[in-house]
Amino acid sequence: MERSFFERAHDVVRQVPRGRVATYGQVARLMGAPRCARQVGFAMHASPGVAGGMPCHRVVFADGSLAPGFAFGGPGEQRRMLESEGVAFLPDGRVDLARCAWEAGR
C-alpha cells in the first residue's frame, strides 16, 4: 500500500506526546520531506480530526503561533485544549516552544 503524503503526516503527528507541540517543519522533516511544511498543514486540514486519532492541535508554526482560521470550534478552543494537556503559553498568545517543543524520540 502506498502511503500518501497525508497518511505519512498523520503518522508523524500521531507520535506527538500529550503536553508537547511540534512545528509543521519538524513534522515534515520527520516524514522525510523537510521542505513540505505547507503540505503537512494541508494534510492536517484534510485530517480526520482529533477524534480520528490526529492531534493536529499540537502542530503549530515555527514561531509557536497557532494556525489561523482554525476550525475546532474557534481559535480559543485550540488554546484551551493545549493548556488542558499541559502546554505552556506566552503572554503574546504563542506556545512556549522553549518548554513544550517536542523532540523526536522523547
Catalytic residue list: 56
Three-class DSSP category at 45? helix
Instruction: Show the site string, 15-34: x = touches DNA by CB under 7 A, - = not.
Output: --------xxx-------x-
| Residue 56 touches DNA, criterion: CB under 7 A | yes
Three-class DSSP category at 88? coil
Mark 36-60 as b/e (b = at least 16 C-beta within 10 Å).
Answer: bbebbbebbeebeeeeeebbbbbbb
Residues within window 70-89 making contact with DNA, judged by CB under 7 A: 70-71
Binding site for DNA (CB under 7 A): 4-6, 23-25, 33, 35-42, 44-45, 47, 56-57, 59, 61-63, 67-71, 92
